[in-house]
Structure 1
Amino acid sequence: MKTIWLVIPCYNEEEVLPETAKRLLEIHQKLVNTNKITPQSKICMVNDGSKDKTWSIISKLHNENNIFSGINLSRNRGHQNALLAGLMTAKEYADAVISLDADLQDDINVIEKFVDCFNNGYDIVYGVRSSRKTDTFFKRFTAEGFYKVMKVLGVDVVFNHADYRLMSKRALEGLSEFKEVNLFLRGIVPQIGYPSTIVEYERHERFAGESKYPLKKMLSFAFDGITSFSVKPMKIIINIGIAVFFVSIIMLLYALISKILGFAVSGWTSLIGSIWMIGGIQLLSLGIVGEYVGKIYSESKQRPRYIIQELLNEEDV
């Protein structure tokens, strides 16, 4: 039997947390009773600077049953950093760690399959959505488009996989070697290597509360993932610059020939169109370059990705 920890990042999840704890405890007891995991296995909830009663609920769960462990970050650091804090803490106690969200959208009934795959020698098990029937057309179109764009840009990601995965202690040790501040774990984990497989599951509707990833945050997360793992946008800028340069030469020749032949006519529309087009390309290019420079700036400061304020955990259950 292996010791398995479940790590759940939480931000303002007071509405869903009691039900999440209840269902995960049922899964935990089932796996212990069938000798799939040890009684020392834990359910660890990471409070990412919540403004509601999330941490008090986690503390109460721990006091009532120390199968529940809690990590309280000093301030809100974002989902990826909160998840990393849980993974790096759990790797000191567990043989493998399963990460999942608190909203019960991830099908917890496949956790047993994750454990079986781990026992069969896989260091990383990816939870992959079998379909996106519960998503709106816009969400489905943008999400699948994101994964396809990432592939085109040369980023190694698992299609339709978020952060529902199992990682062995060895894989977590490999993850700890990645020191970047701008975290995009979906892109980092495949770079670790080691044997991996997938488990398909159906994603459910959110049990309660509101999504913590509105459109603006999703777009920011997607752009962060692209710029963290691919320099192709920079190469695209170069190619656009070369194309515009040749077009400008052609337009210059056209203007000179028209002048020589006496056909020069003041073209207000073409002039304004050209100014806006070139200006737009320049601003877009500066924005993309600025994003990369900003990442270099963030990485160079080497600030801590998270600070743990409080840890609730007893090794012996």
Structure 2
Amino acid sequence: MKKSYILCVDDGSKDKTWNLIQESAEKSTYIRGIKLSRNMGHQTALLAGLNATSSCAAVISIDADLQDDIYAIRKMLDAWQNGFEIVYGVRDDRSTDTVFKRQTAKFFYKIMHLLGIELVSQHADFRLLDHKALQALLQYNENNLFLRGLIPLIGFSTTSVHYSRLKRIAGTSKYPLARMISLAVEGITSLSVAPLRAIAIIGLFVTSIATLCIVYALLTKLFSHAVSGWTSVTIAIFFMGGVQMLSLAIIGEYIGKIYLETKRRPRYHIQSTKQKK
């Protein structure tokens, strides 16, 4: 344990975060830091930290707000020493979160499971990765990152450590509703083609309904007096227009990801690093 250290990743902050990291690193060999050249997003910053610690025997990732219980780290290490290569930190008590956040989290995991995406329920990014598991994770080269969905794909022996989510000591959450929705979309479109298949199912359903309407219209025309009206036509136009726009939006999301992946741009740039010599 003497070789252990804490690596702080500054995701392009605009405040005094990097200065505080530098000061801490100057005082202790147990503190190190890397600063990204700009804000690249939570998942990319986390990957940068994992890359920087890829030579370690085991790595534990944890958010800086410390709402994840640091005392669960000992349990993670015990599980690792017992042979587990991936140890998930799972929240079994989220009473400190708002009702809205708890309910949206439950809905998120349900949607993910319905779409066939393998996720550990109530697990975010608090986890232990053995050296072998980390090396396997770093072989995934996509730029559209959703790490909590990628890690179950690599396999290896896994277990979970349960803990209660703590209250935030200071600051405010950097994950408002808009970013939560963005993360959910990123996870779904990065790991599943179910939305594309849903478009095919919706198209088949709408085509079936349209076919029935056509048959009904023809029978009405042939065997009874057809009253002309604009209601049915208007409803059909708006309905089909809505379905088409939704379908194009989903397809566009996937095409956009293909576009970004083919560029093969660097995920991030490290502006500076700091550790005591």
TM-score bracket, shorter-length normalisation: over 0.9
RMSD of the TM alignment (CA)?
A: 1.2
Q: Percent identity?
A: 52
Please say if 1:89 is aligned against 2:49: no
Give the equivalent residue in structure 2 for 1:47.
10
Separation (CA, whole Å) in 1 of partners of 2:233 and 2:167: 52
Q: 1:198 aligns with which of 157, 160, 163?
A: 160
Please say if 1:141 is aligned against 2:90: no
Give the equivalent residue in structure 1 for 2:29.
66
Superposed counterparts of 1:76-225, under 5 Å: 76-92=39-55, 94-225=56-187
Give ranges in structure 1 of 5+ residues lacking alignment: 1-37
Give the aligned residue type for 1:88. N
Separation (CA, whole Å) in 1 of partners of 2:165 and 2:18: 26
Give ranges in structure 2 of 5+ residues lacking alignment: none
Higher RCO (CA 8 Å, separation ≥ 6 residues): 2
Give the equivalent residue in structure 1 for 2:271.
309
Question: TM-score, normalising length from structure 1?
Answer: 0.85
Separation (CA, whole Å) in 2 of partners of 1:214 and 1:70: 26
Q: Is the 8 A contact 2:26 2:275 kept in 1?
A: no
Deviation at 1:138, TM superposition (A): 2.1
Separation (CA, whole Å) in 1 of partners of 2:31 and 2:229: 72
Separation (CA, whole Å) in 2 of partners of 1:262 and 1:126: 67
Deviation at 1:264, TM superposition (A): 1.3
Deviation at 1:166, TM superposition (A): 0.4
Separation (CA, whole Å) in 2 of partners of 1:193 and 1:165: 14
Deviation at 1:217, TM superposition (A): 0.5
Give the aligned residue type for 1:77. M
Deviation at 1:271, TM superposition (A): 2.0
Q: Is the 8 A contact 2:58 2:128 kept in 1?
A: yes
Deviation at 1:197, TM superposition (A): 0.3
Query: CA-to-partner distance for each residue in 1:80-102, whole Å, 9 max, x for gaps?
Result: 0000000111122x210100001
Separation (CA, whole Å) in 2 of partners of 1:73 and 1:148: 34
Deviation at 1:277, TM superposition (A): 1.2
Give the aligned residue type for 2:211. I
Q: Is the 8 A contact 2:25 2:274 kept in 1?
A: yes
Question: TM-score, normalising length from structure 2?
Answer: 0.97
Deviation at 1:66, TM superposition (A): 2.1
